[in-house]
Amino acid sequence: MLHRELVVESKARGTIRFFRRHSLLHAGTHRVVALKTLVRARHRLRTAESAVRRLRQELRAQELRRLRGATPREAICGAFRDNCRDAVDVAWCESRLQTTAQNGQYLGLFQMGTMARQRFGHGPSAWEQATAAHRYFVYAGSNWGPWNCKPSRGYS
Domains of the chain: which residue ranges? Answer: 2-68, 72-139
Which pTM does this prediction carry? 0.61
Q: What would the pLDDT profile of 42-90 be if each residue is shown by its tens digit?
A: 999 999 999 999 999 999 888 878 777 889 999 999 999 999 999 999 9
- Span 87-103, average pLDDT: 97
Helix orientation angle between 31-68 and 2-21, rounded to the nearest 10 degrees: 150
Mean pLDDT of 5-16: 94
129 has pLDDT over 80 = yes
Q: Would you state the pLDDT for residue 156?
A: 45
> Alpha-carbon distance 26 to 41, whole Å?
18
CA 5/CA 25 separation, integer angstroms: 27
The full length of the chain comes to 156
- As a whole number of angstroms, the distance between CA 107 and CA 50 comes to 42
With cut-offs at 50, 70 and 90, classify the pLDDT of residue 154: low
- Pairing of the two strands 106-107 and 102-103: antiparallel
What local confidence, expressed as pLDDT, does residue 58 receive?
Answer: 94
For residues 79 and 33, the model is more confident at 79
Burial of 19 per CB tally in 10 Å (0-12, 13-18, 19+)? middle
Q: Distance between CA atoms of 92 and 98, rounded to whole angstroms?
A: 8
